[in-house]
């Protein structure tokens, strides 16, 4: 939260924000503002793991809009050719920014494309956290068992606009209402029971409240820090 607030105590000193936040200490190699750009980063990390003979698995998350970009084909192809330990997770919310995915994606979609390259996988109800957990665990066990990259196609829905200032007026209100019937929080409440779900919700809300308080009280970066973390390639200079 400190990073999102642009504070000096953020993981990236307040310079990464939401689009480029990274925390190498926990293996989080960085968010990326370019659609599908996380795929080759994940594949590169997985290749390094294989070369070093480490027992780790890379998880790569992207949206359905990413399957129409070049890095998807290139990344999955490289991962399969070299049988890399990577789990590709497509969070398919059926909207690519402001355009329906159906209007932009030919064929049977993300999972079919992955299988065409030779990367096996499964489809899951992306609104059901328990189902996603079970399927992802099964796929990760396959990766650790030497079966190469796997693909999780999580079907969900984007209830709000693409960004906070997007009213999403390009969508049918009835469509959103129908989708809200499968709200992930409602589904998990039915499976866990109201009391257990309420306890989890209370704990989560308290965690967020504390994080907000800490971030709001954290110091701003010093002005001089604007000149740090800058690469000097030794080439051209501003004149």
- pTM for the whole structure: 0.90
The widest CA-to-CA distance across the chain, in whole angstroms, is 66
Fold of 32-162+170-182: Rossmann fold (3.40.50)
Which pLDDT belongs to residue 236?
63
Q: What distance in Å separates the CA atoms of residue 142 and residue 145, rounded to the nearest whole number? A: 5
Has residue 164 got a pLDDT over 90?
A: no
Kindly report, residue by residue over 189-239, the tens digit of the pLDDT.
Answer: 999 999 999 999 999 999 999 999 999 999 999 999 988 888 777 766 665
Which pLDDT belongs to residue 80?
98
Give the start-end residues of each E strand in 73-228: 86-92, 95-96, 99-100, 121-125, 150-155
Q: At what angle do helices 70-81 and 38-52 cross, to 10 degrees?
A: 10
Which pLDDT belongs to residue 238?
61
Which pLDDT belongs to residue 168?
87
CB 7, CB 219: distance < 8 Å: yes
Which pLDDT belongs to residue 203?
97
Element (H, E) at 215: helix 194-217
């Amino acid at each position: 939260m400190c990073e999102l607030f642009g504070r000096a105590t953020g993981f990236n000193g307040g310079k990464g924000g939401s689009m480029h936040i990274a925390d190498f200490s926990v293996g989080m190699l960085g968010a990326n503002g370019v659609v599908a750009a996380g795929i080759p980063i994940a594949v590169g990390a997985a290749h390094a793991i294989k070369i070093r003979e480490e027992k780790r698995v890379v998880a790569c998350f992207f949206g359905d809009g990413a399957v129409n970009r070049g890095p998807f084909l290139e990344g999955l192809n490289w991962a399969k050719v070299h049988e890399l330990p990577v789990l590709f997770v497509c969070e398919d919310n059926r909207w690519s920014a402001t355009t329906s995915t159906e209007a932009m994606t030919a064929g049977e979609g993300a999972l079919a494309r992955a299988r065409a390259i030779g990367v096996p996988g499964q489809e899951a109800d992306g609104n059901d956290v328990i189902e996603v957990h079970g399927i992802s665990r099964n796929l990760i066990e396959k990766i650790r068992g030497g079966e190469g990259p796997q693909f999780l196609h999580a079907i969900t829905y984007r209830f709000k606009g693409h960004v906070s200032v997007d009213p999403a007026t390009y969508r049918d209100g009835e469509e959103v209402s129908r989708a809200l019937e499968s709200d992930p929080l409602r589904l998990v409440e039915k499976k866990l029971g109201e009391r257990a779900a309420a306890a989890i919700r209370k704990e989560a809300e308290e965690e967020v409240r504390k994080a907000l308080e800490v971030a709001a009280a954290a110091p701003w970066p010093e002005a001089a820090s604007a000149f740090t973390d800058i690469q000097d390639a030794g080439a051209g200079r501003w004149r």
